[in-house]
Amino acid sequence: MHFVLKGRGTFAVPGFYEVWPRVEGGDIRAYTMLTTPSNELVGPYSNRMPAILDDEGIDAWLNETNTEYRGVLGAIRGISADEMMMYPVGAYVNERERETPECVEPIRNFYSAIRE
C-alpha cells in the first residue's frame, strides 16, 4: 500500500541525522524518523506512522535557535485518516535499489494482480 496526504504531493517528516566517523576510515550515516501512533487508515498495516510537520512546524523544527523542546515538539502532529488516502502498489517497490516513480504506480486492477 502507498499512503499519501490528500491534496499534497510532498510533506515534511521530522527526524535526526548524524554522521559518525569510523576508526578504520569512512563514516557511518544515521537517520531517525520520528513517528506517532498510527491512525485508522494506517493501523491495519503498522502500529506507527511518520509524524508530519505543517508549514509552521517545518520552520520551528529547522530553527537552530529554538532550544525549547516543548516548542519544537508542539510542531509535530499526527495526521487523521480523513487527511490521507491509500492505494495498492506492486511488488516492484520491495527492492531496496529501486528508487523510481514506478515504485508508487497504482496497481490498475488490484484483485487480478493478486491472482497473478
* Cβ(1)–Cβ(89) below 8 Å: yes
Grid look-up 497473478 returns 116
Question: In this predicted model, what pLDDT tens digit does every residue of 74-95 receive, in sequence order?
Answer: 778 788 999 999 999 988 888 8
Residue 116: which pLDDT band, with cuts at 50, 70 and 90?
very low
Q: Where are the domains of the chain?
A: 2-86
Question: In this predicted model, what pLDDT tens digit does every residue of 26-76 receive, in sequence order?
Answer: 999 999 999 999 999 999 999 999 998 888 888 888 888 877 777 677 778
pTM across the whole model: 0.73
Phi first, then psi: give them for residue 18, nearest 5 degrees. -145, 145
